[in-house]
Amino acid sequence: MENILRERRLRWLGHVLRMDHRRMPQQALYREVPGFKRGPGRPRANWIGTVKKDLRKMTLTWEEADVAALDRQEWRRSAWLNVSTWMRYGLNQGQGQGPDRMT
């Protein structure tokens, strides 16, 4: 289930990154609320933080993903390939960092 959600997040990210910069979802990716200060304690998990973790597993930075997502078919293929690789090698939730790290 986690892998399905990861693939959907990555596909949605690609969709939003390809949007025109005037569209609300595209603006929401980069918007920061002025004057916002979070309270004490651990920050809550959010969508962007989760997607950044997914991108790290793909060994991509946000900027590289922004460029890669422009090619829709390639982005969908790479998201699917990465998730299927994670499923094949059982690389969920800290069980490893990738097939090259398997021993």
- Residue 25 inside a domain? The answer is yes
Angle at 102 between CA 98 and CA 103, to 5 degrees: 165
Domain that holds residue 28: 2-32+43-101
Cβ atoms of 57 and 2 within 8 Å: the answer is no
* pLDDT over 80 at 47, yes or no: yes
**Helix, strand or coil, per DSSP, at residue 90:** coil
The answer to the question of residue 37 being in a domain is no
**Is 91 among the domain residues?**
yes
Confidence of residue 89 (pLDDT cuts 50, 70, 90): low
| Banded model confidence at residue 90, pLDDT cuts 50, 70, 90 | low
Nearest to 45 by CA among 84, 9, 87: 9
Model-level pTM?
0.69
